[in-house]
């Protein structure tokens, strides 16, 4: 029986709230767009399998909340990510300035050498542009990463951006695998630090079946955290509603 995919890549989208991360994920995974999405609570993900250079690549595209109150939840999801997409809104200068903070977050939480990609979203709103393209290109060059301007609404450059990131990850894995014969068949390697020798070593590649098993374990944990976060939001709203009703009742009684 043929494998459903050759490689499994976890991609993470980060950036301020409202820059269009959810819209980008849905445009890429489902080729759909809606202007009525609500802010992501904690974490969410979509899956799409693409063909890159003759290899079937299963992409787990994780959409994170940009709000500060969800920071403790979302930082846990950097683990295992092989590609990170930093998103800003070309009509929101503050979201672009905060890319430096998100870069710092990657350095603190992600694996060394993770592939990064900078996206300036909402390029269909040229009349409201606040961030010039050359400023973003300069920032991307300083960090040695690729840059695209995208529009989740019109789909401009969305497909190309995600495929470019997946291809870069694939090529990097093959370049590293050349020095490790055991990984030559799949390209999967994982750099680890040996606690006893304090030297960087490499684990052999993981099979697609093992990757799938670990993925579904991770998904279960992720959904549990997301459900808990959503429940807390609902509970807090109920408490606020109850207090508001009590206040109204007292005002009526005092009349």
* pLDDT class of 40 with cuts at 50, 70, 90: low
pLDDT at residue 197, rounded to an integer: 43
In a domain, 30, yes or no: yes
pLDDT at residue 200, rounded to an integer: 44
Q: Which helix (H) or strand (E) holds 89?
A: strand 83-89
β-partners of residue 146 are 117
Report the relative pairing of strands 55-64 and 7-14 from DSSP bridges. Answer: parallel
Asked if the model's pLDDT at residue 128 lies above 60, the reply is: yes
Q: What is the CATH number of the domain that holds 133?
A: 3.40.50.300
Residue 124's CB is within 10 A of a number of other CB atoms, namely 16
pLDDT at residue 244, rounded to an integer: 76
Residue 152's CB is within 10 A of a number of other CB atoms, namely 28
Please state the rounded mean pLDDT for residues 222-244: 79
Percent of the chain residues topping a pLDDT of 70: 72
In a domain, 247, yes or no: no
Considering the entire predicted model, what is its pTM? 0.69
pLDDT at residue 83, rounded to an integer: 97
In a domain, 236, yes or no: no
In a domain, 62, yes or no: yes
Percent of the chain residues topping a pLDDT of 90: 50
In a domain, 1, yes or no: no
- Structurally, how many domains does the chain consist of? 1
Q: Are 23 and 152 in contact (CB under 8 A)?
A: yes
pLDDT at residue 234, rounded to an integer: 80
What would the pLDDT profile of 150-173 be if each residue is shown by its tens digit? 999 999 999 999 999 999 999 988
pLDDT at residue 187, rounded to an integer: 46
Closest to 86 in 3D by CA, of 66, 60, 113, 71 = 66
Q: Are 201 and 216 in contact (CB under 8 A)?
A: no
- Averaged pLDDT of the chain: 81
Range of 70's domain? 7-221
pLDDT at residue 132, rounded to an integer: 98
Closest to 102 in 3D by CA, of 121, 116, 91, 113 = 116
* pLDDT class of 30 with cuts at 50, 70, 90: very high
Helix axes 158-177, 21-30, angle to 10 degrees: 80
Q: What whole-number distance in Å separates Cα of residue 40 and Cα of residue 228? A: 14
């Amino acid at each position: 029986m043929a494998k459903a995919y050759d490689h499994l890549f976890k991609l993470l989208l980060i950036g301020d709230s409202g820059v269009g991360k959810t819209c980008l994920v849905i445009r890429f995974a489902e080729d759909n767009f809606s202007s009525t999405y609500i802010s992501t609570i904690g974490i969410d993900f979509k899956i799409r399998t693409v063909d890159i250079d003759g290899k079937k690549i299963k992409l787990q595209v994780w959409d994170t909340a940009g709000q500060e109150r969800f920071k403790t939840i979302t930082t846990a999801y950097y683990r295992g990510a092989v590609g990170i997409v930093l998103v800003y809104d070309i009509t929101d200068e503050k979201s672009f300035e905060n890319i430096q903070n998100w870069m710092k977050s990657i350095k603190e939480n992600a694996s060394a050498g993770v592939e990064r990609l900078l996206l300036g979203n909402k390029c269909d709103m040229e009349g409201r542009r606040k961030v010039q393209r050359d400023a973003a290109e300069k920032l991307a060059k300083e960090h040695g990463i690729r840059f695209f301007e995208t529009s989740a609404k019109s789909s401009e450059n969305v497909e190309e951006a995600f495929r470019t990131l997946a291809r870069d990850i694939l090529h990097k894995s093959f370049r590293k695998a050349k020095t490790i014969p055991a990984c030559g068949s799949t390209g999967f390697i994982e750099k680890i630090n040996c606690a006893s020798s304090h030297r960087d070593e490499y684990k052999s590649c993981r099979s697609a079946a093992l990757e799938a098993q670990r993925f579904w374990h991770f998904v279960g944990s992720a959904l549990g955290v997301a459900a808990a976060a959503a429940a807390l939001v609902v509970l807090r709203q109920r408490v606020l509603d109850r207090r508001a009703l009590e206040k109204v009742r007292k005002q009526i009684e005092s009349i």
